[in-house]
A and B are shown apart, each in its own frame.
Chain A
Amino acid sequence: MTAINWPGVRAIFHHEMSRFFRTIMQSLLSPVISTVLYFVVFGAAIGGRIESVDGVAYGAFIVPGLMMLTVLQQSVSNASFGIYFPKFSGTIYEYLVSPVGWIEVTMGFVGAAAAKAILIALVILLTSFYFVGVHILHPFWMLAFLVLTSLGFSLLGFIIGLWAKSFEQLQIVPMMVITPLVFLGGAFYSASMLPPFWEAVAKLNPVLYLVSGFRWSFFGVADVPVGVSLVAVGIMIAVCMAIIRWIFATGWRLRE
């Protein structure tokens, strides 16, 4: 056997994706409906009163933010539920007795969670074309940010799922931490629109760097330098991987 058990990674990935396709209506339709509502409320109702932000029409300006909002929420919820459910049902034993290590389990679950989030984000992008004219200035970087961000937050969701001991705990971190960070991370506004003090506070929010970098790939404008955004997401991925490795090595919340 090679160092990495690739059939094992594929098995976990397919297993997770099959759940997504089993509930395709719920998986795809609900984020699309939410996005349409955001466009109606923020884009049409409020956006009608704002001419442009950094030279970009408000309706188009919120597209990267909306995509990021969905990617972050979907990545966290898919990955956390993906690993929590085997813990809840008891089937986690299979992952612990088979020849798959932390790297294969993480690649399978996180890869599937990120793939689902990216798929939904792309559907939202297509939906947005119906409402506003969006031009993507740097398509490669748009995809790169999409992939890196979904991976980073899927890793975070995976840790939440490993940590959670109940469905309540599974919900509480996304609800109490992720959603506020996203809303305060410039999804619907530019940090430069805030008073100087709050702009400085906003820059402590890691999500701002992701939204900013992603928005730059669309329109070439950013609240923070793009390199800083890339470093931020890179650090997030590295820290999350280290935590996951530690969890599997010690068996914390896994073998208890």
Chain B
Amino acid sequence: MTGIIEVENLSKQYGSGTKALSDVSLSINEGEIIALLGPNGAGKTTLISIICGLVVPTGGTVRVGGHDIRTDWRAARKLIGLVPQEITLEPFETVMNCVRFTRGLYGEGPDDAYIEQILRSLSLWDKRDAATKELSGGMKRRVLIAKALAHRPKILFLDEPTAGVDVALRRGMWQVVEELRREGVTIILTTHYLEEAEAMADRVGVINKGQLLLVKPTAELMGEFGKKTLTIELDQPLTLIPDELTGRNLRLTADGRSLCYEYDTRAERTGIARLLGDLAELGITVRDVSTQQSNLEEIFMSLVSEPRQEESA
């Protein structure tokens, strides 16, 4: 199946010699949410900027809805809405006029009823006649989203949409994204908040040093790369880990009441059965056991600290 965005062997080298992207290939399916993760300067924003038309690539091709972004750029750009990383708004213009302006730029005729619908969904309707300079940071970010949606795009790019936004507002943004997903909008987001990617994205792509290290369904990634921690609650507290159990990746909690055992879910043998057997042999009674999955942040750190070359887009 051809994706709504097809990126093939995309490269970008700046005049200074900096290689921002190296041979990136990626296919994004219609209606999915994909999160691009990576440290600062990894190439996430460069990738988005090329697809949107802000940056000219040095190699490779990008097709959006089947339209080449260089030869058929008008049709390609009409499908896209971009919420940039920086809050950039005309300070003296009203919220309503800002959104009307963007709609016009995309070749659409006036439709105040639709703009009202967008502003209401983003809780901005009450501020429609306010100059953007009078708005709070969170509201300004929502105005940027309203502008990006003004022409009913099929694809929405959110470049760090919740950077510097408080927790309540961040959750509000997630709701907006969820509603857009229900409407069938394809969403590509970059974020530093891995919790965000974990909560929203169908797939996660990890970029580091201009290379796309991998693209996988979020759940699969969590399963494949996830380490689990088995917490064994003891009946009687221990003061030390018995010698027989050393070298097993075990940790004793400060109160001595639990043993934490970290294991790899991908390993053929997790060692859980053997550990529990050894505990029984040593006469250590287990009161309860629980497991905890490592989060995306830990997975991400393990990937970028030991870059893998595999790619499964």
Contacts and interface: CB of A to CB of B under 8 A. Distances in A.
A89 B88 CA distance: 6
B273 to A, nearest CB: 56
Contacts of B84: 90, 93
Interface stretch (B104-112, B231-239, B264-272, B282-290): B104-112
Interface string B97-138: 100111111111100000000000000000000000000000
Given A93-B54, A97-B54, A12 B105 contact: yes
Contact of B78 (A1, A18, A251, A255): A1
Interface stretch (B28-36, B69-77, B249-257): B69-77
Contacts of B106: 7-8, 98-99
A122 interface: no
Counting chain A CB atoms within 10 Å of each CB, the highest count among B56, B97, B100, B104 belongs to B104
Contacts of B97: 15, 18
Contacts of A96: 53-54
Contacts of A97: 52-54, 77, 80, 82
B56 to A, nearest CB: 6
Given A18-B97, A96-B53, A97-B80, A89 B90 contact: yes
A239 B75 CA distance: 30
A38 B93 CA distance: 35
A93 B77 contact: no
A67 B9 CA distance: 57
Contact of B91 (A8, A89, A101): A89
Contacts of A98: 77, 102, 105-106
A1 B75 CA distance: 8
B104 A8 contact: yes
A49 interface: no
B3 to A, nearest CB: 20
Counting chain A CB atoms within 10 Å of each CB, the highest count among B91, B92, B104, B105 belongs to B105
Nearest to B81: A97
Given A11-B101, A12-B105, A255-B55, A5 B82 contact: no
A11 B104 contact: yes
Interface residues of B, number: 32
B56 A255 contact: yes
B23 interface: no
Contacts of B103: 11
Given A7-B109, A91-B88, A91-B89, A15 B56 contact: no
Counting chain B CB atoms within 10 Å of each CB, the highest count among A5, A86, A97 belongs to A97
A101 B85 CA distance: 23
Contacts of A10: 104
A59 to B, nearest CB: 40
A94 interface: yes
Interface residues of A, number: 28
Contact of A255 (B54, B75, B88, B105): B54
B86 interface: yes
A243 B165 CA distance: 42
Interface in A1-38: 1, 5-8, 10-12, 14-15, 18-19, 22
A10 B89 CA distance: 19
Counting chain A CB atoms within 10 Å of each CB, the highest count among B90, B91, B97 belongs to B90
Nearest to B102: A94
Given A89-B90, A98-B77, A7 B107 contact: yes
A22 B92 contact: yes
A71 to B, nearest CB: 26
A100 interface: yes
Given A1-B74, A89-B91, A99 B52 contact: no
A58 B82 CA distance: 58
A90 to B, nearest CB: 3
A90 B78 CA distance: 21
B85 to A, nearest CB: 10
B60 to A, nearest CB: 17
A219 interface: no
A5 B86 contact: no
16 contacts: A1-B75, A1-B78, A7-B105, A7-B106, A8-B104, A8-B106, A18-B93, A18-B97, A89-B89, A91-B88, A94-B147, A98-B77, A98-B105, A99-B73, A99-B74, A255-B55
Interface of B: 52-56, 73-75, 77-78, 80, 82, 84, 86, 88-93, 97, 100-109, 147
